[in-house]
């Protein structure tokens, strides 16, 4: 499957939408998904992606080792090594497709000062 590095404009920003939750390797949720190279447990987190005049919620997979301490909804973060992988499958005779997002880690950012703080 094609793995595509995502290029971001300098105006791009990300904000944590949800706390990370474990990603499972099976539908019964009995086995955690792990990184093939490091063995680290994989987590899923929703980030709000804002760029120029648009915003989207992205569900992103990140190794547990790539999550900063103290991560909370609303915090500004920057994904490091963001990749997109298009996927498609037939389920019950219907085609499903989408894009899976994956990062190596999330870096916490210091929020920009507000006009009130200046």
Lowest mean pLDDT among 10-14, 44-48, 89-93: 89-93
Each residue's pLDDT tens digit, 47-101: 999 998 899 999 999 999 999 999 999 999 999 999 999 999 888 899 989 999 9
pLDDT averaged over every residue in the chain: 91
| Res. 15 pLDDT band, cuts 50 70 90 | very high
DSSP letters for the chain? ---EEPP--TT-EEEE-S--EE-BSSTTS-SB-B-TTT-PBEEEEEEEEEETTEEEEEEEEEEGGGSPTT--TT-EEEEES-EEEEEEEEETTEEEEEEEEE-SEEEE-PPPPPTTT-
């Amino acid at each position: 499957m094609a793995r595509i590095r995502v290029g971001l404009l300098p105006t791009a920003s990300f904000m944590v939408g949800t706390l990370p939750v474990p990603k499972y390797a099976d539908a019964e949720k009995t086995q955690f998904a792990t990184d093939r190279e490091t063995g680290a447990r994989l987590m899923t987190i929703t980030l709000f992606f804002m760029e120029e005049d648009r915003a989207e919620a992205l569900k992103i997979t990140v190794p547990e080792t790539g999550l900063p301490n103290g991560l909370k909804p609303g915090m500004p973060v920057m994904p490091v090594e963001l990749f997109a992988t298009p996927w498609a499958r037939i389920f019950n005779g219907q085609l499903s497709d989408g894009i899976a997002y994956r990062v190596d880690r999330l870096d916490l950012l210091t929020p920009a000062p507000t006009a009130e703080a200046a």
